Amino acid sequence: MHDPDYSFAEYAFDTRAIYAGQRPDPTTGALMKPIYQTSTFEQSSPGEHTGFEYSRSQNPTRMALEDCIASLEGADFGTAFGSGCAATTTVLHLLEAGDKVVSSDDIYGGTRRLFVQVMEQMGLEFEFVDMTDLEAVDEAVDDQTTMLWVESPTNPLLKIYDIEAVCEIGHASDALVAVDNTFMSPYFQQPLDLGADLVVHSTTKFINGHSDVVGGAVATNDASLAEQLFFLQNSIGAVPGPMDAFLVLRGIKTLGLRMRKHASNAQAVAEYLQGHGKVDRVLFPGLESHPQYEVGQKQMSGPGGVVTFYIDGGLEASRRLLETVEVFSLAESLGGVESLIEHPAIMTHASVPPDKRAELGITDGLVRISVGVEHEKDLLEDLEKALARV
Ligand SMILES: *Cc1c(COP(=O)(O)O)cnc(C)c1O
């Protein structure tokens, strides 16, 4: 059962990360939530059951995870999914054919692909705007608009949007506002407090944090939206398995610890790169040179762990750097304890059309780093050695 008593609402984030949703097992006292690796549950008489019937509908391990994520987002309701894309897909099913979604322009490549190549075919309409321009957001929202989709900071350019202002614009037209909070995790940003109706996560990233699970989640404070989400979660069936739910629950216990270290390492990396002669420009929410630094200070309690920069010399230079680093792994994804480096134009954002990439600034010299929790010195030395060979 989803149990509000176990939200531990009165405790601080780090404490909730360890306990929320996880009461000790009543039969054995097991401290860790067991992995209920079962598809079905015995009933004592037809229709008489413990509250658990079938694992697509309810699974105790998954529900512990859902309650924990809800608690961390300051939400009353949480739902977990098999991936971030599954979470996004389920949220979009709150809408109907003919509805329009106004979305931020610089979004996760897979989200854009889902919007344009899948959901448009099913009758939803999407308009992409640069949400740093609030007038443009206001103009894009029309009578048909039923949802605003916001990713902040954005991927890969780390643009920061004023979530509170965007929510005001959306709500003035009775549109829902959904915020993809993957890059900040609930530790650094809580969109529901800023006015959002729904917060969406790829738990694959910082929330799990160990690069061993693909998962997603959605949280909300609105009981009627939550009811629809539970209905859609069960109807569409894009749920995570119990083992994955267990792993994410375990990862979450150190979310606060990890985010603090991700952020301090990332700050050091960003400052180092900013002073390097072969680097053109560094984008990082923790640098005062960030174009939306003030907005970030207002709505985020830390800068996160992703650093993006433009290297001099385009593709040849970025390729050389990515092939030369040793501590950093050349791989897609982000938010794990290990540092990753990648080339958005060739890797994560290859599904964005080339003209669109050029318009957004995703050029051949653009490199994205997910800074892990290794020792800062090893990361800086690795970058120094690799940049020397560029
Ligand atoms: C990875 C990611 C997603 C998609 O999540 P998956 O778990 O890979 O399906 C969505 N949004 C953002 C910001 C992401 O980084």
Token pair in block for residue 217: 């989640």
pLDDT the model gives residue 26? 85
Name the CATH superfamily for 256-388.
Answer: Aspartate Aminotransferase, domain 1 (3.90.1150.10)
pLDDT tens digits for range 56-80: 999 999 999 999 999 999 999 999 9
Closest residue CA from atom 2 of ligand 1: 202
Residues 6+ apart with CB under 8 A from 210: 247, 251, 336, 337
pLDDT the model gives residue 2? 62
Is the distance from the beta carbon of residue 180 to the nearest atom of ligand 1 less than 6 Å?
yes
Give start-end residues of each CATH 3.40.640.10 domain in the chain: 4-252
Return d(Cα 12, Cα 27) in angstroms, integer: 28
Token pair in block for residue 213: 């699970």
pLDDT the model gives residue 350? 86
Is the distance from the beta carbon of residue 205 to the nearest atom of ligand 1 less than 6 Å?
yes
Q: What residues are labeled active site?
A: 56, 108, 180, 205
Cβ atoms 372, 340 nearer than 8 A: yes
Collapsing DSSP states into helix, strand and coil, what is residue 57? Answer: coil
Cα–Cα nearest to 80, from 243, 223, 196: 243
Q: Write the DSSP assignment of 87-105 as a string of letters.
A: HHHHHHTTS-TT-EEEEES
Return d(Cα 300, Cα 186) in angstroms, integer: 10
CA distances from 211 to 102, 215, 347 (A): 31, 11, 17
Is the distance from the beta carbon of residue 113 to the nearest atom of ligand 1 less than 6 Å?
no
pLDDT in tens, the chain (390 residues): 466 667 788 999 999 999 999 988 888 999 999 999 999 999 999 999 999 999 999 999 999 999 999 999 999 999 999 999 999 999 999 999 999 999 999 899 899 999 999 999 999 999 999 999 999 999 999 999 999 999 999 988 999 999 999 999 999 999 999 999 999 999 999 999 999 999 999 999 999 999 999 999 999 999 999 999 999 999 999 999 999 999 999 999 999 999 999 999 999 999 999 999 999 999 999 999 999 999 999 999 999 999 999 999 989 999 999 999 999 999 999 999 999 999 999 998 888 888 988 888 999 999 999 999 999 999 999 999 999 999
Tell which one of 88, 103, 111, 150 to mutate to probe ligand 1, the residue whose CB is within 8 A of the most ligand atoms.
111
Token pair in block for residue 275: 């002073």
Closest residue CA from atom 7 of ligand 1: 84
Q: Could you tell me the pTM of the whole model?
A: 0.96
pLDDT tens digits for range 128-147: 999 999 999 999 999 999 99
Is the distance from the beta carbon of residue 8 to the nearest atom of ligand 1 less than 6 Å?
no
Closest atom, ligand 1, to C-alpha of 203: 7
Closest atom, ligand 1, to C-alpha of 214: 7
Is the distance from the beta carbon of residue 90 to the nearest atom of ligand 1 less than 6 Å?
no
Return d(Cα 70, Cα 177) in angstroms, integer: 17
Return d(Cα 137, Cα 149) in angstroms, integer: 11
Cβ atoms 72, 17 nearer than 8 A: yes
Tell which one of 182, 200, 244 to mutate to probe ligand 1, the residue whose CB is within 8 A of the most ligand atoms.
182
The DSSP letter of residue 119 is I
Closest atom, ligand 1, to C-alpha of 86: 9
pLDDT the model gives residue 97? 97
Find the helix or strand (DSSP H, E) in which 78 lies: strand 77-81
Give start-end residues of each CATH 3.90.1150.10 domain in the chain: 256-388
Token pair in block for residue 161: 């949007």
Closest residue CA from atom 12 of ligand 1: 108
Q: In 10 A of CB 250, how many CB atoms?
A: 17
Cα–Cα nearest to 315, from 357, 272, 346: 346
- Cα first-last separation, the chain: 56
Q: How many residues are recorded in the chain?
A: 390
Helix residue ranges, H only, the chain: 13-19, 60-72, 84-92, 109-113, 134-140, 163-172, 185-188, 223-236, 242-252, 255-274, 293-299, 314-324, 354-360, 376-388
Domain 4-252 sits in CATH at 3.40.640.10
- Would you report the helix, strand and coil content of the chain in percent, each value rounded to 5? 40, 15, 45
Tell me the one-letter amino acid at 344. Answer: P
CA distances from 125 to 99, 107, 148, 161, 224 (A): 6, 16, 12, 22, 24
Token pair in block for residue 62: 């998954």
Ligand 1 mean position, distance from CA 202 (Å) = 5
Return d(Cα 64, Cα 78) in angstroms, integer: 10
Tell me the one-letter amino acid at 86. Answer: A
